[in-house]
Amino acid sequence: MTENSFPKVSSDLAYASEINNQYKKVSLYNQSIDVTVSVGDLVYFDGADWQTATTQFAAGVYADNDVVTVSGYASGFTGLSTGEWYGKDSSGDLISSFFNDQQCIGYAISSTEMIISFGGLYDKAGERGLFGGGDTGSVTSSIEYINLASTGNAIDFGNLSAVRESATACGSTTRGIFAGGHDGVPLDIIEYIEYTTLGTAVDFGNLTDAREGSAGFSSSTRGIFAGGYDGSISSDIIDYITIASTGNATDFGNMTTGTKWLGGLASSVRGVYGGGSSTTNVMEYVTIATATNATDFGDLTFSTFYLAGCSNLTRGLFAGGVANDIIDYITIASTGNATDFGDLTVARWQHACCSSSTIALFAGGNSYKDSIDYVTIATLGNASDFGDLITGRDNLAGTSNAHGGLQ
């Protein structure tokens, strides 16, 4: 997204009804607004509150507890990050990397200036992917994030509560979950972050059994962890959590065969995992809302382990694995064998995946790769470069607030 893509309205002054026919509204969340502001007034956001505006600084029209976009520019801010999108939270505070299309305020062109772009015109700007843990040459706790709306390098998010690798991840639109992994021995830790809040992960509870290399996937309400390695055998355990609460995982059912280092993905209804130990090509599925044993889905076009999976609502992708660059796809709502999608830019394994409704990203991997690939999920073809991790790593975990289980 660039400045050239911002909406333009030719008139300096437009009536709310006319503007609202073109663009969505920005809610003020029922917060107080300056008493000098009246319905129909031109207004702008000064970094702390809405103010009446001159034509020169027109940003929107106040319309009965909403602001509808006109166009404009505002200055007088401090500490903006050039090129960052900003929104307003429910307390009225200016925040970067907002997570709701109704919070859109604008785009910083300097540390003190912002182009105003109200109204949910860029509702993808809040879609964020996370990559956590892994091995950078030593086991790490760091979490990095990317904005799924545009290509670019990863940004520091915070940390897991402790170092670990070979964890798995899933999440809702608000919470990202990291589970299991190892720091020398398999772990049963589950912890979470809020996508809008940079910082350190918080304890959630524990898995039913300590293990690494599980497949993680979720709907908007339930997170599921399938298989893994418990330090002695490949596990056939499937357990689940309710993402909005905290607490220990509960038994969901069992896999047909215990498997480790596999990939997982989901729609809002069905979770699918595939590949894994003994270089299998088997895929199985569960219905996320119904605790029961897994059922055969079909086969991948290749047999491998250390692969990664992600999806949009309808199509799932499995990619990579030991010594290959293959990307396969499935239609999640049906069963059957996978079909060739294309290739990664390089062979990668021990990598992570995250996705939105339109793109899938594959990050890191063997030999401490720092590159991030992406594909457009609806279109078959080879991957392209998206950007780079801050620090190259393998055995990392990935999730997003926009994956297929949430759509």
As a whole number of angstroms, the distance between CA 378 and CA 398 comes to 21
The token duo for 398 is 């990935």
Residue ranges in 51-210 assigned as alpha helix (H): none
> Is the predicted pLDDT of residue 8 greater than 70, yes or no?
no
- For range 213-236, the mean pLDDT: 97
Confidence of residue 105 (pLDDT cuts 50, 70, 90): low
Task: Give the pLDDT confidence of 152-210 residue by residue, as tens digits.
Answer: 899 999 999 999 999 999 999 889 999 999 999 999 999 999 998 889 999 999 999 99
Report how many helices (DSSP H) and strands (DSSP E) the chain contains, helices first: 1, 35
> Helix or strand or coil: residue 295?
strand
Q: Does domain 128-406 have CATH number 2.40.50.140?
A: no
- Would you place residue 10 in the very low, low, confident or very high pLDDT band (cuts 50, 70, 90)? very low
Q: Output the pLDDT for position 30.
A: 44
Answer whether 284's CB lies under 8 Å from 292's CB. Answer: no
Q: What is the pLDDT of residue 21?
A: 35
Distance CA 263, CA 227 (A): 10
Query: What does DSSP say about strands 295-299 and 282-287: parallel, antiparallel, or unpaired?
Result: antiparallel
User: How distant is the alpha carbon of residue 215 from its chain centre?
Assistant: 16
- Sorted by where each begins, the domain ranges of the chain are 3-116, 128-406
